[in-house]
């Protein structure tokens, strides 16, 4: 089995793949678009995609790929994010002047960047930043990367656990070409997208069915569609299985106020939620 992820070896997505799918071959891809294409085209069986972070919020661009990818969410996993400040052998906290990393990682480690007056430089991903620093062999450069990257790229750990908040956690979803809907009776998450009709209070009315049927909605995000500055498309997540009577009624009521509904996945809730 092959599981694709965005980034280079040692990235957080790679760590999640190793942790939850140790028997699979982890396939590094340069971009999220490449990850989706790898699974859609049959070059990989699964995709590991970060979707939310407890500090930085939603991961940009994912919502553009999900609705049109034809792929299905089949699992979710949470990773407590731990970052280290890495430098080439011989580098110290006194020698470094610049720090390379993904834009989200830089935003999650502002305190150490400010404390040491470092100049942040954006890289494609956290592990790629470590490789760039290793290739440069410059003691004035450092990378904010997962600890695994130090081992892979032969760098020294100059500081550990440098993330600003100890609750820094990223949620990943696993995508497959085929749905894998769990049986009722276990904790389940249903993810879907919908477009509201152009009617007064359409969103209010669309969501009313979830409230009256006792369905807990854990996510609701809006997106602009077609270049118009009106939020007409929404990504939602709810607790429950579509075959549960309450959720089935809520989804039926949703159709009255929407132009389309796309179920992106029905999958087991990760134990982290409990």
Active site residues: 170, 172
Pair 46, 209: CB distance under 8 Å: no
Instruction: Sort 71 into a burial class: Cβ within 10 Å, 0-12 / 13-18 / 19+.
Output: buried
Instruction: Sort 14 into a burial class: Cβ within 10 Å, 0-12 / 13-18 / 19+.
Output: buried
Residue 207: both structure tokens together: 């969501």
Pair 24, 3: CB distance under 8 Å: yes
Pair 162, 118: CB distance under 8 Å: no
SS3 155: coil
SS3 129: helix
**119-122/57-58 β-pairing:** unpaired
Cα dist from 144 to 41, 125, 180, 233, 241, whole Å: 33, 10, 36, 35, 39
């Amino acid at each position: 089995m092959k599981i694709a992820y965005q980034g280079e070896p040692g990235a957080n997505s790679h760590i999640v793949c190793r942790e939850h799918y140790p028997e699979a071959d982890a396939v590094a891809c340069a971009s999220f678009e490449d990850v989706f294409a790898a699974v859609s085209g049959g070059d990989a069986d699964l995709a590991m995609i970060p979707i939310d972070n407890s500090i930085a919020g939603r991961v940009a661009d994912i919502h553009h790929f999900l609705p049109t990818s034809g792929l299905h969410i089949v699992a979710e996993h949470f990773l407590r994010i731990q970052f280290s400040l890495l430098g080439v052998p011989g580098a110290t906290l006194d020698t470094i002047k610049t720090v390379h990393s993904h834009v989200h990682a830089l935003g999650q480690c502002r305190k150490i960047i400010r404390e040491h007056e470092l100049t942040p430089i954006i890289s494609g991903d956290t592990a790629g930043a470590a490789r760039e620093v290793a290739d440069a062999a410059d003691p004035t450069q450092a990378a904010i990367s997962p600890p695994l990257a130090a081992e892979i790229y032969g760098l020294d750990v100059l500081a550990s656990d440098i993330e600003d908040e100890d609750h820094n956690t990223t949620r990943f979803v696993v995508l497959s070409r085929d749905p894998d809907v769990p049986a009722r009776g276990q904790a389940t998450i249903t993810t879907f997208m919908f477009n509201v009709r152009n009617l007064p209070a359409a969103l209010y009315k669309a969501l009313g069915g979830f409230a009256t049927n006792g369905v807990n909605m854990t996510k609701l995000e809006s997106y602009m569609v077609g270049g118009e500055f009106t939020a007409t498309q929404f990504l939602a997540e709810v607790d429950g299985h579509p075959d549960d009577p309450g959720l089935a009624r809520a989804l039926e009521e949703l159709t009255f106020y929407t132009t389309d509904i796309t179920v992106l996945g029905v999958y087991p809730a990760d134990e982290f939620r409990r």
